[in-house]
Amino acid sequence: MTVGEALEWGRRLLQAAGRPAQEAGRDVQVLLGHVLGVERAALYAHPERELTAAEWQRLTALLERRQRGEPVAYLLGHKEFFGLDLLVDRRVLIPRPETELLVEEVLAEARKRLRREEVPIVADIGTGSGAIAVALAVSEPRLPYLYACDSSAEALEVAQLNCQRHGVSQRVRLLQGDLAEPLPEPVDLLVANLPYVGTEERELLAPDVRDFEPPEALFAGPRGLALLERLLRQLHERPLLKERAMVFLEIGHRQREALEALARQLWPALRLTCRRDYAGQERLLILAF
């Protein structure tokens, strides 16, 4: 079978499984490019190229998994985030574009402090694949070290691979434990992209997400607030934040009011800011102490 024929066959196969035509076409292009080790543009430059038996076998195996709904990022074993190619598999959540907003906000504050000749201590809580911590470490080499915490040993294995992949293993200190508890010292900037989907919203999720991504990285109680609220209480009860610290939280689009109410109850003088994502949804809550 030629490249051109494989593209058409794969598109029809995925469409028959319920994928929209545009998505099906894109998915088969990405998967075939992955199998052949070429950019997507090269597929159309040489549609007459014949696939070897091994290439055809690999493509059909990947398409069968995609037919069953497995996310493309897991099929490829990697995902781009903040300009970095990150390793991902079913041990970790797939990084989302809106989480790049979190990185941008933390970077902006870190650089503001660095310009004042302050060197902030940064912690990423619920690091998963290490996406946020690695992006921060690569983007701002003036940060001597960062902490990255997760309760999952398996997730930290993936994070370690990404730290090695991007040359920041010596600067990103991986810690296992409950939320911010493993931190050995108070921090200046704390960022968290914790699970915030409610179990009552489970059936509203796309099957690709609901059936394949780790549930412990998605769900946090009926309304999705359990871990975020527990983190706030943990930060209030323990000396984990330095003076003038800031906390950056990715949140669900209907969670701002509940989290703001709890934060103001715990810290009456707190300054709060909310940022919207690319879709206009309230997505980032910033706490300034």
Rounded Cα distance, 133 and 122, in Å = 9
Rounded Cα distance, 284 and 111, in Å = 19
Q: Which CA distances in Å does 189 have to 28, 194, 240, 246, 270? A: 41, 16, 10, 5, 15
Closest residue by Cα to residue 247 from 138, 166, 126: 126
- CB of 127 closer than 8 Å to CB of 148: yes
pLDDT digits (tens, 9 = 90+) for 22-50: 999 999 999 999 999 999 889 989 999 99
Find all residues with CB under 8 Å of 255, minimum gap 6, and list them.
196, 223, 224, 225, 228, 282
- CB of 198 closer than 8 Å to CB of 255: no
Residue 55 pLDDT level (bands cut at 50, 70, 90): very high
Would you state the pLDDT for residue 253? 87
Closest residue by Cα to residue 82 from 166, 151, 194: 166
Would you state the pLDDT for residue 174? 98
Of all residues in the chain, the percent with pLDDT exceeding 90 is 94
pLDDT at residue 238 is higher than 90: yes
pLDDT digits (tens, 9 = 90+) for 240-249: 999 999 999 9
pTM of the model: 0.94
Would you state the pLDDT for residue 204? 87
Rounded Cα distance, 150 and 172, in Å = 13
Rounded Cα distance, 257 and 120, in Å = 29
Would you state the pLDDT for residue 157? 98
pLDDT digits (tens, 9 = 90+) for 69-81: 999 999 999 999 9
pLDDT digits (tens, 9 = 90+) for 154-207: 999 999 999 999 999 999 999 999 999 999 999 999 999 999 999 999 988 988
Query: What's the average model confidence in pLDDT over 266-282?
Result: 95
Residue 69: CA count within 13 A, CB half-sphere: 10
pLDDT at residue 132 is higher than 90: yes
Reduced to 3 states (helix: H, G, I; strand: E, B; else coil), residue 231 is helix
Would you state the pLDDT for residue 85? 98
pLDDT at residue 107 is higher than 90: yes
Reduced to 3 states (helix: H, G, I; strand: E, B; else coil), residue 77 is coil
Query: What's the average model confidence in pLDDT over 198-227?
Result: 93
Across the chain, mean pLDDT equals 96
